[in-house]
Amino acid sequence: MMTANRPIALVTGASSGIGKAAALALVEAGFDVVGTSRDTSRVAPVDGVAFLDLDVASDTSVSATVQQVVDRFGRIDVLVNNAGIGLTGAAEENSVAQAQGVFDINVFGVMRMVKEVLPHMRARGGGRIINLSSIFGLIPAPYLAAYAASKHAVEGYSESLDHEVREHGVRVLLVEPGGTSTSFEANSTQPDTPLPVYDKQRRVADQVIAAAVRDGDDPAIVAKAIIAAATDTHPKVRYTAGPMAGRISTLRRIVPSRIFYSQIRKYNRLAG
Ligand code: NDP
Rounded to whole angstroms, the Cα distance separating 90 from 44 reads: 35
Rounded to whole angstroms, the Cα distance separating 65 from 36 reads: 9
Give SS3 for 181: coil
Q: Which atom of ligand 1 is nearest to the CA of 183?
A: 3
Cα atoms in the 13 Å half-sphere on the side-chain side of 206 = 14
Rounded to whole angstroms, the Cα distance separating 225 from 204 reads: 31
Rounded to whole angstroms, the Cα distance separating 73 from 81 reads: 19
Phi and psi at 43, nearest 5°, equal -95, 130
Helices (H), the chain: 17-28, 59-73, 96-106, 108-124, 145-165, 184-187, 199-214, 219-231, 243-254, 257-267
Q: Which CATH architecture has domain 8-267?
A: 3-Layer(aba) Sandwich (3.40)
Provide the strand spans (E) within 218-267. Answer: 238-241
Do residues 264 and 140 touch, judged by C-beta distance below 8 A?
Answer: yes
User: What ranges do the domains of the chain cover?
Assistant: 8-267
Asked if 15 is an active-site residue, the reply is yes
Ligand 1 and 38: CB distance under 6 A: yes
Rounded to whole angstroms, the Cα distance separating 118 from 77 reads: 10
* Average pLDDT per 10 consecutive residues for the chain, totaling 272 residues: 81 97 98 98 94 98 98 97 98 98 98 98 98 98 98 98 98 98 96 98 96 96 98 98 95 96 95 80
Ligand 1 pocket mutation pick from 100, 187, 248 by most atoms within 8 angstroms of CB:
187
Q: Which atom of ligand 1 is nearest to the CA of 217?
A: 40
Ligand 1 and 35: CB distance under 6 A: no
Q: Is the pTM of this model over 0.95?
A: yes
Ligand 1 and 89: CB distance under 6 A: no
Rounded to whole angstroms, the Cα distance separating 144 from 14 reads: 23
Closest C-alpha residue for ligand 1 atom 23: 184
Distance 121 CA to ligand 1 centre (A): 24
Classify the phi-psi angles of 253: left when phi > 0, otherwise alpha if psi is within -120 to 50, otherwise beta. alpha
Bridge partners for 175 per DSSP: 132, 239
Asked if 151 is an active-site residue, the reply is yes
Distance 31 CA to ligand 1 centre (A): 21
Ligand 1 pocket mutation pick from 82, 176, 181, 238 by most atoms within 8 angstroms of CB:
82
pLDDT of residue 42: 95
